[in-house]
Amino acid sequence: MQPPMYPEEFVTPMREELTAVGFQELRSPDEVDKVVTGKGTTLCVINSICGCAGGTARPAVALALQHKVIPDRLVTVFAGMERDAVEKVRQYHRDVAPPSSPSMVLFKDGKVVAMVQRSDIEGRTAQEVAGRLVADFGDHCARPGPSIPPEKFAQLKHLHACGSSVPRVQR
């Protein structure tokens, strides 16, 4: 098992941005296998400490999950933290796109049907990225949304800190 690269206290607020809108954290390759190979749709977000792209990705995902149709399951792994779990997700999408974080992978019945890479996030607004996700949800998903009530969504606070100021764990 590969050790985390960052202190947990620095990534906890970034984790909470996704768990607040209904995401389950996956911490091991076995958990990834069990969830992404299941029937139905699964959105897996590879969360990132990157303040620029991550600061757009997390609000974009939250906004997209306010749509009337959303994935059946919402899961997340954190790049640089659950490194083995992240590698397992990347094995599933390696034929579709190279590794990037943050990124979002939409699986349907265990197959990748859509992916938003870091290059699709950088330089775009959360609304633009959310629009792309909403289109993907409309094409592949059937679960009624939103993931949380609109009044709870309105109370969310998102981070916009640059990850370059976060120290790595010293070994």
- Catalytic residue numbers read 50, 52
Q: Is 77 exposed, middle or buried (0-12, 13-18, 19+ CB in 10 A)?
A: buried
Report residue 157 CA to chain centroid gap: 17
Residues 79, 48 contacting (CB under 8 angstroms): yes
Q: Which of 21, 17, 16, 19 minimizes the C-alpha distance to 150?
A: 21
